[in-house]
Amino acid sequence: MNIPRLLITVGAVCLVLGLLWPWLSKLGLGRLPGDIAIERNGFRFYFPITTSIIISLILTLLLWLLRKY
């Protein structure tokens, strides 16, 4: 496995996702049922567990399909 190529690819994917985030957030990612959000005076905690699981499943399926072909 070529580590530099993998790191460049991961960096490019992160860059693209960062640029597309305003449009992705309109799809509801980040505010799904099951995401934990606690807001109090001077404190805000957010843990997107459901969003993380969905993104993980999509990436796993995508990588599985790419590896298969």
pLDDT single digits (tens) 20-64: 878 877 877 778 898 999 999 999 999 989 988 988 998 899 888
pLDDT category at 69 given cuts 50, 70, 90 is low
Give the per-residue pLDDT at 1.
Answer: 61
Give the per-residue pLDDT at 44.
Answer: 93
Q: Which of 48, 17, 18 is nearest to 33 (CA)?
A: 48
Region of 33 (left: φ > 0; alpha: ψ -120 to 50; beta: rest) is beta
Q: What is the chain's alpha carbon radius of gyration, rounded to the nearest angstrom?
A: 16
Residue 17 has pLDDT above 90, yes or no: no
Region of 30 (left: φ > 0; alpha: ψ -120 to 50; beta: rest) is left
